[in-house]
Amino acid sequence: MKGFLAAVFKQKRLEIFVSSLIVFGLIFGGYKLFVSGGNFLLRQGELGGVFLDRLFYLGWSIIFYLLILSNLVTGFSTFYRSPEVAFLMTLPVDNKQIFRIKFIENLVYSSWAILILGIPLTLGYGALQGLSAWQYALVFLAGILPFLFIATVTASLLLMLLVYLSRFFKMRTVFIFLGVIFTGIFYLYFSVSQQDTLLSGNLGNFRSLGRYLANLSNTSFPFIPSYWLSRLFMGSESLVLMERLFFSALFLSTALLGWEIINWAAERFYFHTYQVMEGQGQKTKRTALSKIFKFGWVGLNAPTRALASKDLVQFLRTPQQWVQFLLLGFFIAVYLINLSRGQLRFDELSSFWRTTIYIFNFGFTGFILAALTARFVYPMVSMEGRSLWILQMAPFSMKKVFVEKFWFAFFVLFTLTELVALISNFFLGQRLEIALLASGFLLLTSLSLISLSLGLGAVYAQFDETNPMKISSGYGGIITVVLSLIYVAFSVTSLVFVINLYQNHGSGLMIGMIVGFVIVLTGLYTWLPLKWGLKAISTYER
């Protein structure tokens, strides 16, 4: 017993040590990368500074968007589906108190993983802005904390509204309606806010870059907290203190107002909406999706067909999955619309800026792929849940299950990200061979990240957890995100070298060596996690 406990403790300590090392590595690496990249851009003159600011706005806008999304998804189970809530509801405890506890739980659950991405951004940008220790403290206490809080308040209110509306309409109808409204608002916003020039016309051939940056500036909408946070960092030279105090006060007052509103809403609507959700558990509907099981998928044998049909139907019937996938798709669409509306003439730009935007675009696509794999591929094995015994009992090895999941994910995600890469490179006016080079790198990135997420998802499987978002934000999920981002960083850096050598007629041998390095790295990222994952799933007992 003593030996067993010691072994468990040793294992836990090792896990904590490894994960801490990886997380700190990511934060430090991200910080160094952002600082050196930022310094490089700043050396390019005024335009580099503007580009850097736009990246910072964009970074926090993405984080705000992800926070609301993750709050919404985890909120479903935290506020409404958790067995603990059902138990608490039977106790003589005020519903508002239950809501408050769950609110804090949801805030922590949905924020901590995303914050790991925000820390290097914050530290790096702060270093470039020359923030002092007290300014960092101010930014953290009066900026980042209320920022997280406001995202949770917004998502919780939206969630209660959605659940309330689902009493009158199907949840799917509510989501589609909201999607249409959001799309309409965004479209109108982009239509009226297009700035043809960010910079004055005398910058000559920078006009196209100006348009590109102006389009990115749509993320700096002044009524969202990501804008306030960005401003809290920046501040003009002469009004630095006043601006920082203004945005701090804005954050704190908004957070306090949010707390009042959410308490008011919880008192009136939480129990009511909880009952609505409870009632929905009894609804069952026959749908046309059943036909998927009878569909004659060409080239697939019966067991593989069954596994693929099951994965597809389950995905389409889990709102936490398809809604988030849809919203991520919507986010990508906004990015592509931005590019298409920019009417860029890429050939007007210098080679340096062409390459910079091309690399940024590749990095963005890689980041999207990393987010998609960590969010959707990582929980695939865990989502089998306690029904895993059905597959374990089937007359084939678990390798078949694993292989099916890999190709299922690869088919969907590779197609999606390749489309994004090809369309965006088309809008950016890239030459065919350059666009195809990015596509080739993306193929390797897809193989690596899907294998990594699937493999580690099996190693760190949580079969008792039904919420895919919670599965993704667990210990293994964070390691997956960190390792994915490290791969993307290597991939981007390698692409920079290859493009640079190609454009400057550099050594073909060197290009071959760099590509070879990426292929070897891809091999390791693909083979090792799949091997570990397969071993884990094949020997799983419960």
Partner 1 sequence: MIKIENLSKQFATTLAVNKLDLHIEKGELFSFLGPNGAGKTTTIKMMVGLMTPSQGMIHMGGFNVEKEPQKAKFITGYVPDSAFLYQHLSGLELLMMVGQLYSMDNKTIENELGGLSERLFMKEWIGDRISGYSQGMKQRLAFASAFLHSPDILIIDEPMVGLDPKTARIIKDMLKERSRSGVTVFISTHNLNVAEELSDRIAIINRGKLLGLGTVDSFQSVSGEQENLEERFLRIVEEEELTEGHNVIEDE
Residues 455-484 touching partner 1, rule: CB under 8 A, are none
Site string for partner 1, 228-267 (x = CB under 8 A): ----------------------------------------
| Calpha distance 515→537 (Å, rounded) | 33
- Answer for which of 10, 170, 386, 399 binds partner 1 (CB under 8 A) is 386
What is the closest distance, in whole angstroms, from the C-beta atom of residue 289 to partner 1 in the complex?
Answer: 8
* Options 59-67, 92-100, 381-389, 422-430: segment touching partner 1 (CB under 8 A): 381-389
- Answer for which of 88, 176, 391, 511 binds partner 1 (CB under 8 A) is 391
Which residue number, 6 or 242, has a Cβ lying nearer to partner 1? Answer: 6
| Calpha distance 505→351 (Å, rounded) | 14
For Cα atoms 110, 225, 261, give the angle at the middle one, nearest 5 degrees.
Answer: 75
Which residue number, 36 or 301, has a Cβ lying nearer to partner 1? Answer: 301
- Answer for which of 44, 82, 318, 355 binds partner 1 (CB under 8 A) is 318
* Options 257-265, 324-332, 384-392, 408-416: segment touching partner 1 (CB under 8 A): 384-392
Q: Do 424 and 344 meet the contact criterion of CB atoms below 8 Å apart?
A: no
* Options 179-187, 279-287, 351-359, 529-537: segment touching partner 1 (CB under 8 A): 279-287
The CB density around residue 82, as the number of other CB atoms within 10 Å, is 16
Question: Residue 449 to residues 440, 455, 502, 532, 534: CA-CA distances in angstroms?
Answer: 14, 10, 26, 15, 16
> Packing angle between helix 432-459 and helix 351-372, nearest 10 degrees?
30
| Calpha distance 56→49 (Å, rounded) | 11
What is the closest distance, in whole angstroms, from the C-beta atom of residue 6 to partner 1 in the complex?
Answer: 13
- Answer for which of 96, 207, 244, 305 binds partner 1 (CB under 8 A) is 305
Which residue number, 315 or 360, has a Cβ lying nearer to partner 1? Answer: 315
What is the closest distance, in whole angstroms, from the C-beta atom of residue 383 to partner 1 in the complex?
Answer: 10
| Calpha distance 478→485 (Å, rounded) | 11
Which class for 374: exposed (0-12), middle (13-18), buried (19 or more C-beta within 10 A)?
buried
> Packing angle between helix 398-427 and helix 351-372, nearest 10 degrees?
150
Which residue number, 320 or 451, has a Cβ lying nearer to partner 1? Answer: 320
Which residue number, 17 or 297, has a Cβ lying nearer to partner 1? Answer: 297
| Calpha distance 360→428 (Å, rounded) | 11
> Packing angle between helix 508-538 and helix 475-503, nearest 10 degrees?
160
| Calpha distance 386→462 (Å, rounded) | 10
Nearest to 221 by CA among 430, 454, 64: 64
| Calpha distance 106→154 (Å, rounded) | 12
Which residue number, 326 or 359, has a Cβ lying nearer to partner 1? Answer: 326
- Answer for which of 6, 241, 390, 513 binds partner 1 (CB under 8 A) is 390
Which residue number, 43 or 285, has a Cβ lying nearer to partner 1? Answer: 285
- Answer for which of 179, 303, 363, 523 binds partner 1 (CB under 8 A) is 303
Question: Residue 143 to residues 63, 150, 203, 239, 396: CA-CA distances in angstroms?
Answer: 14, 10, 35, 18, 54
- Answer for which of 106, 110, 111, 309 binds partner 1 (CB under 8 A) is 309
| Calpha distance 373→304 (Å, rounded) | 21
The two three-digit tokens of residue 84, written as one number:
């603990």
Residues 280-299 touching partner 1, rule: CB under 8 A, are 281-286, 289-290, 293-294
Number of residues that bind partner 1 (CB under 8 A): 39
What is the closest distance, in whole angstroms, from the C-beta atom of residue 380 to partner 1 in the complex?
Answer: 14
Q: Does 4 bind partner 1 (CB under 8 A)?
A: yes
What is the closest distance, in whole angstroms, from the C-beta atom of residue 398 to partner 1 in the complex?
Answer: 10
The two three-digit tokens of residue 42, written as one number:
């700043």
Which residue number, 33 or 313, has a Cβ lying nearer to partner 1? Answer: 313
- Answer for which of 306, 489, 496, 501 binds partner 1 (CB under 8 A) is 306
Residues 395-414 touching partner 1, rule: CB under 8 A, are 395-397
Which residue number, 177 or 293, has a Cβ lying nearer to partner 1? Answer: 293
* Options 21-29, 121-129, 162-170, 390-398: segment touching partner 1 (CB under 8 A): 390-398
- Answer for which of 81, 100, 172, 310 binds partner 1 (CB under 8 A) is 310
- The position carrying tokens 């270093």 is 127
| Calpha distance 358→423 (Å, rounded) | 12
Q: SS3 for 449?
A: helix
Which residue number, 116 or 394, has a Cβ lying nearer to partner 1? Answer: 394
Which residue number, 33 or 277, has a Cβ lying nearer to partner 1? Answer: 277
Please name the residues in contact with 362: beta carbons below 8 A apart, sequence gap of 6 or more.
421, 438, 441, 442, 492, 495
Which residue number, 107 or 380, has a Cβ lying nearer to partner 1? Answer: 380
Catalog residues that contact partner 1 under the rule CB under 8 A. Answer: 1, 4, 281-286, 289-290, 293-294, 301-303, 305-307, 309-310, 313-314, 317-318, 385-387, 389-397, 539, 541-542
